């Protein structure tokens, strides 16, 4: 039976134009997290490359890999070697012309516990993800692991309370959000503080509304989408880091800086989930008979 307490490791990292170098860098960071006592470790969204969605380039589909692949084999071996649960976000090649932004969950014995394919796909300036990613078709999922029942969503999913709720209703005790989010440098002075505050607030709200822990892991550094020497023309994106873990009361347990690589470690105590849900029984008091209209785009 899993322990009531375990440590979470969030790997906030920067990337280069070399996917192999980024993979090794991530592996080194996971070793650091394990050495500091982490029982479950999460990597940022699409950690193996710079954020390539800053432009539309058909050649970049070559970055995608099937699951399983040599990369997932290395990650599975890493999880087994360190006896940790490992969450990694990958560019999945499912079939010719069908690609997903996919989180993989490896258990502490190295087995592939499951996949989550990103459901909400953005299309904004320098975030041209609809060009690359087919929306997920596996639904919202929670997985039993060596540390407990874990749910994983990905980046843009973090703005949608429905995804957090449906994952929590499957028994997830902690939600992870591998992320790649940053400022447009020209907008940072005017909007940067409020953008980050909204992002932090919405995810703390998921923790409170569902009585779960939430772990968010972002990349850090300025990127122009330099993949294998091909750079985007323009200012690029400044990824704002600030990875954090919060408890079911929304209290931030551990948090990283905006501009440095860090391995964030925080403790999860599943007894807190029970205690908070007893005192704030939001799940008990849901009026499920009144929510039918939630599946409408608008209620005109």
What token pair was written down for 70?
């040599």
Distances (CA, A) of 120 to 37, 67, 104, 148, 155: 33, 21, 17, 26, 9
Catalytic residue among 29, 45, 129, 246: 45
What share of the chain in percent tops pLDDT 90?
94
**pTM to 2 decimals?**
0.96
Domains, the chain: 5-295 (3.60.110.10)
Choosing from 29, 42, 92, 155, the catalytic residue is: 155
| Catalytic residue check, 155 | yes
Helix (H) / strand (E) element for 160: namely none
Tokens of 16: 């280069």
Choosing from 29, 42, 93, 118, the catalytic residue is 118
Of 57-61, 228-232, 277-281, the range with the lowest mean pLDDT is 228-232
**Model pLDDT, residue 2:** 66
The predicted structure's pLDDT at residue 195: 97
- pLDDT (0 to 100) of residue 227: 80
State the number of CA atoms in the 13 A half-sphere of 24 facing the CB. 4
Q: pLDDT tens digit string along 212-233? A: 999 999 999 999 887 876 666 6
The C-alpha atoms of residue 89 and residue 50 are separated, in whole angstroms, by 13
225, 46 contact by CB (below 8 A)? no
């Amino acid at each position: 039976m899993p322990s009531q307490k375990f440590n979470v490791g969030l790997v906030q990292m920067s990337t280069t134009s070399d996917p192999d170098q980024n993979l090794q860098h991530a592996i080194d960071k996971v070793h650091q997290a394990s050495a500091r006592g982490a029982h479950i470790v999460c990597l940022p969204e699409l950690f193996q490359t710079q954020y390539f969605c800053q432009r539309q380039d058909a050649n970049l589909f070559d970055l995608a890999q099937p699951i399983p692949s040599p990369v997932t084999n290395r990650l599975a071996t890493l999880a087994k070697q360190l006896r940790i649960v490992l969450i990694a976000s990958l560019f999945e090649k499912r079939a010719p012309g069908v690609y997903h932004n996919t989180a993989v969950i490896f258990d502490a014995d190295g087995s592939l516990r499951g996949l989550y394919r990103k459901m909400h796909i953005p299309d904004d300036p320098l975030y041209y993800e609809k060009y690359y990613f087919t929306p997920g078709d596996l639904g919202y999922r929670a997985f039993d692991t060596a540390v407990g029942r874990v749910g994983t969503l990905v980046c843009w999913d973090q703005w949608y309370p429905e995804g957090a709720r449906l994952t929590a209703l499957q028994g997830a005790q902690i939600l992870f959000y591998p992320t790649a989010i940053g400022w447009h440098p020209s907008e940072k002075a005017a909007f940067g503080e409020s953008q980050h505050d909204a992002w932090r607030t919405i995810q703390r709200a998921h923790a409170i509304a569902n009585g779960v822990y939430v772990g968010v892991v972002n990349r850090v550094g300025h990127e122009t989408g330099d993949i294998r020497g091909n750079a985007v023309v323009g200012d690029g994106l400044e990824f704002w880091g600030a990875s954090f873990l919060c408890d079911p009361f929304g209290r931030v347990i551990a948090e990283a800086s905006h501009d440095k690589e860090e391995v964030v470690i925080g403790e999860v105590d599943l007894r807190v989930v029970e205690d908070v849900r007893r005192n704030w029984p939001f799940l008990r008091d849901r009026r499920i008979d009144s929510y039918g209209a939630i599946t409408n785009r608008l209620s005109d």
